[in-house]
Amino acid sequence: MSAGPSRRGILAGMGAAGAAGLAAGGLWGAGAARQDPDPAREMTLSRSGPREGLPPALVTPTPAHVHVVALDLTEDAPKGSAHRAGRVLELWQQDIDALHGDGLDGVVEGAPTLGLRPASLGVTLGLGGALLDRAGLAERRPDALARPPAFAADRLRPELCDGDLMLHVGAEDPVVVSAVVRHLVGRVRDHARVRWALPGFQRHAVTAEDPSATPRNLMGQIDGTVNPHPREAVFAPQVLAAHTDPATAWMDGGSYVVVRRIRMALDGWFDLSPEDRERVVGRRLDDGAPLGGTREDDRPDLAARDGDGNPVIPADAHIRLASPENTLGARMLRRGFNYDLGWGPDGRANTGLLFTAWQADPRTAFTAVQRALDEGGDALNAHIVHEGGAVFAVPPIREGEPRAAHDLWP
């Protein structure tokens, strides 16, 4: 994590206190992860504590439940928008601090979480690009925060896209997630309303035979194998943003998250033979090994041919097209969660992947990969549809910096 210039330094260089209050001061420290002290859980999870300064959403192990909520500010003139955004962030920061100290029971009398442990509760906040424009901060908006171009797999519905602010709440228990989201959204109801929201889940460590195993998505695939790890030297350059320009330095050391609501056509998926399902992704269903390999962490052999001269990993297999070899080295940290909203009015399963990808710059990561998936005719595209999408800037949490800077809001 780069240390970056001090907040005071940025403010001094900025001149406009209002702008600084929103873009620089507001999100410093806007995240908190509460680790569960339960010794029983200690035994079931291989734990690594939060890396200093990493948004809680990036801490491993990932929680079993998340809820990603996008909110829009109430319409206002630019100055009003900046003020409202500052107020929302201030209110959330107060509550995040209180939650961190006391859990929800300490914040709300009679909360549904009474008797529950926070269980790895983590709250992460993000800013949408439109908010910065609306608040008169367009020149402080990093180019990396631009909306990605349209892709072949997109059937995006505007009401499921974008948003001024992102609230990302994760915890082991869905009651904790639900109660915390409801509380935080309720706290800012005078200033912002929910635009879209999507709860996601993955298998719980308690039910997993091997809690350290990579989880499976609802298509049954082991999903999340190839990902940078915070221990690796490549993690920071791939996942954390580097901004030396003073105008965008508020995001130096932060991360850009691309969120996608990707519906899976599950009704017919399991009618395909297991071999056909394996060819779609290019990995085996049972152990996640690349086709032609023997272990999940084997490097896919993209040059291998079978006896007939055909590629062992098909030309349109998802992992071939998404590989760094095919995308000029594009990398991101993918954190996928399942969603299952039952069946839609069309009688089809309303299920899929709450895809989140964290990167230093979406233009050279998410967008580069999605473009390669399009151009190569990703075999997965016949079974999925992107219905929602957004990009948010998640600024860094810097130790030693003052928390929400109330005195700076306009």
**What is the CA angle 400-402-406, rounded to 5?**
175
CA 150 to CA 91: how far, in whole Å? Answer: 35
Give least dist CB 223 to ligand HEM, A: 4
Active site residue 223: yes
117, 36 Cβ separation under 8 angstroms: yes
Q: Is 384 in the site for ligand HEM (CB under 6 A)?
A: yes
Q: Is 319 in the site for ligand HEM (CB under 6 A)?
A: yes
Tokens 């959403």 sit on residue: 57
Residue 178 or 225: the one with the smaller Cβ distance to ligand HEM is 225
Query: Using the rule CB under 6 A, which residue among 78, 136, 211, 224 binds ligand HEM?
Result: 224
Q: Are strands 192-201 and 165-171 parallel, antiparallel or unpaired?
A: unpaired
- In 3-state terms, what secondary structure has residue 390? strand
Q: Is 322 in the site for ligand HEM (CB under 6 A)?
A: yes
Residue 220 or 246: the one with the smaller Cβ distance to ligand HEM is 220
Judged by CB under 6 A, the stretch of 96-104, 159-167, 203-211, 322-330 that binds ligand HEM is 322-330
Q: Is 225 in the site for ligand HEM (CB under 6 A)?
A: yes
Q: Is 226 in the site for ligand HEM (CB under 6 A)?
A: yes
4, 396 Cβ separation under 8 angstroms: yes
Give least dist CB 375 to ligand HEM, A: 12
Site for ligand HEM (CB under 6 A): how many residues?
Answer: 28
CA 52 to CA 59: how far, in whole Å? Answer: 10
Cis peptide before 274 (omega within 30 of 0): no
Catalytic site residue from 36, 95, 162, 223 = 223
CA 393 to CA 224: how far, in whole Å? Answer: 22
Give least dist CB 172 to ligand HEM, A: 22
In order, the DSSP letters of 92-155 are HHHHHHHHHHHTGGGTSTT-TTTT----S-EEEEEEEHHHHHHTT-GGGS-GGGSPPPP-TTB-
Judged by CB under 6 A, the stretch of 167-175, 229-237, 247-255, 256-264 that binds ligand HEM is 256-264
Residue type, 190: D
CA atoms within 13 A on the CB side of 120: 27
CA atoms within 13 A on the CB side of 140: 30
Give least dist CB 232 to ligand HEM, A: 14
Nearest one of 344, 354, 267, 275 to 314, comparing CA atoms? 275
Binding mask 337-376 for ligand HEM (x = CB under 6 A): ----------------x-x----------x--xx--x---
Query: Using the rule CB under 6 A, which residue among 124, 255, 323, 381 binds ligand HEM?
Result: 323
Give least dist CB 34 to ligand HEM, A: 28
Residue 118 or 388: the one with the smaller Cβ distance to ligand HEM is 388
Q: Are strands 31-33 and 122-128 parallel, antiparallel or unpaired?
A: antiparallel
Tokens of 373: 């998936």
Residue 87 or 318: the one with the smaller Cβ distance to ligand HEM is 318
Q: Is 19 in the site for ligand HEM (CB under 6 A)?
A: no
Q: Is 281 in the site for ligand HEM (CB under 6 A)?
A: yes
Residue 173 or 223: the one with the smaller Cβ distance to ligand HEM is 223
- Point out the residues that are catalytic: 223
Contact residues for ligand HEM (CB under 6 A)? 217, 219, 221-226, 260, 262, 264, 281, 283, 300, 318-319, 322-324, 334, 353, 355, 366, 369-370, 373, 380, 384
